[in-house]
Amino acid sequence: MTDPDRAADVRNEDRGAGATAARRRIPLLLAVAGLAYALDLGSKLAVVAWLENEEPVGLIGNWLELEVLRNAGAAFGIGEAMTIVLTLVATTVSVVIVRLSRKLYSTPWAIALGLLLGGALGNLTDRLFRTPGGFEGAVVDFISVRGFSVMNLADWAIFCGGVLIVLYSFLGWELDGTGREPGREHAEAA
């Protein structure tokens, strides 16, 4: 076997190892998304059953309370007249994440995208199935931080996933598990 043939075999073996790694990251993405979704859905079902139409429950005085609100808009109640648009955005985000998962070799990215997917699906479920339904349902928010916002666990998952995505992008980490090589930017700029 010649050296070029041997090099081609090594590259093919590396691709095979990468393909195996990719299969392992998709289940992680789905597991994180499923956990985020289940926690969100379960918490919403519980607070609607036990706390809706009740006085807020203080967790840390009146600084952090459980208070059930129905939000037809986005964060901070913005865009209440755009519920259908928000539903389409959540659907698009979910589809994009599923498509990106084909290139997913990175454990950190699987966690970040899983959080984002689980949160998007949690709020999308409310948009589809809560009153008034049909893409216009109001999201159940219940974590009230005084002077800030009322949120749910899906919102927290989306926020945490978004922060991680920005961090990984800033660090130069790629979906395929690679990162920027030190000095590479300088060599390419020259």
Residues acting as catalytic residues: 141, 155
Take residue 30 and report the two structure tokens written for it: 């789905």
Q: In a 3-state reduction of DSSP, which class is residue 28? A: helix
Q: Can you count the helices (H) and strands (E) in the chain?
A: 5, 4
**CA gap 45, 189 in Å, rounded:** 54
**CA gap 140, 150 in Å, rounded:** 9
**CA gap 82, 74 in Å, rounded:** 9
**CA gap 71, 78 in Å, rounded:** 9
